[in-house]
């Protein structure tokens, strides 16, 4: 079961410094993640509150299925099943062959720290920076207290939902969350 919250922050460096000062271990260095959500043409997975994602990272591909969220006042709680795959493109091809189609793409830079009872992810997206705290409720609460985070800033919303709100505020159409590419094709 996945248990998490997101917290928007003005900058990541103060959190990074605090995490290091607290002795949290850098589990995964900063890297670009390219995420692709897939669904059937009738969008039945999304309609059921489920999600199927293929994530590309420097370590390889990660196939994730997230089930319907479980009601909780504070945390986003949902069943989650994941497996690493050597070739994300091959996994996408298999999923396409059984009728799944891309419905949404998003990119982020992520850095992950290991804290007692929780993971601390520092996420940079094209529209803002966020912390993702994942673990047991007690681990999340202890991590939030150690980082001196305001619990009122906790959100259970997805990056797609947060981005949709961002787009509405700017009067822009909603679309994929992608970094602008330089002339060399890199963000």
Phi-psi region of 4 (alpha: psi -120 to 50; beta: other; left: phi over 0): beta
DSSP-derived secondary structure letter, 41: T
**Residues 61-95 pLDDT 10s:** 999 999 999 999 999 999 999 999 999 999 999 99
Q: Is the pLDDT of residue 183 over 60?
A: no
Q: Is residue 67 within 8 Å of 50, Cβ to Cβ?
A: yes
pTM: 0.93
97's tokens: 């062959």
Nearest to 39 by CA among 31, 28, 47, 29: 47
**Residues 109-127 pLDDT 10s:** 999 999 999 999 999 999 9
Q: Is residue 15 within 8 Å of 9, Cβ to Cβ?
A: yes
> Which residue carries 């673990």 as its tokens?
135
E-strand ranges in the chain read: 2-9, 25-39, 51-57, 60-66, 76-78, 80-85, 101-115, 118-125, 128-135
In the chain the domains, ranked by start, together with CATH numbers, are 2-170 (2.40.320.10)
Q: Is the pLDDT of residue 170 over 90?
A: yes
Question: How many C-beta atoms lie closer than 10 Å to residue 75's C-beta?
Answer: 21
- Say what the pLDDT of residue 181 is: 80
Task: List phi, psi (to 5°) of 93.
Answer: -65, -40
- Say what the pLDDT of residue 56 is: 97
**Residues 4-48 pLDDT 10s:** 999 999 999 999 999 999 999 999 999 999 999 999 999 999 999
Instruction: Look at residue 111 and give its three-state secondary structure.
Output: strand
The DSSP secondary structure of 88-104, one letter per residue, reads HHHHHHHHHHTT-EEEE
- Say what the pLDDT of residue 186 is: 58
């Amino acid at each position: 079961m996945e248990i998490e919250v997101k917290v928007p922050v003005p900058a990541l460096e103060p959190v990074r410094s605090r995490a290091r000062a607290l002795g949290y271990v850098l589990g995964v260095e900063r890297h670009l993640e390219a995420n692709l959500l897939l669904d059937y043409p009738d969008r039945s997975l999304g309609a059921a509150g489920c999600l199927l994602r293929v994530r590309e990272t420097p370590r390889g591909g990660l196939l994730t299925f997230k089930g319907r969220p479980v009601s909780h006042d504070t945390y986003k709680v949902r069943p989650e099943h994941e497996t690493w795959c050597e070739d994300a493109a091959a996994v996408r091809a298999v999923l396409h062959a059984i009728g799944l189609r891309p419905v949404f793409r998003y990119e982020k830079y992520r850095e992950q720290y290991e804290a007692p009872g929780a993971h601390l992810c520092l996420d940079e997206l094209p529209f803002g920076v966020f912390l993702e705290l994942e673990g047991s409720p007690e681990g999340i609460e202890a991590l939030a207290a150690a980082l001196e985070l305001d619990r009122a800033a906790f959100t259970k919303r997805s990056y797609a939902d947060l981005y949709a709100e961002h787009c509405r505020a700017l009067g822009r159409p909603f679309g994929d969350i992608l970094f602008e590419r330089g002339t060399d094709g890199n963000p």
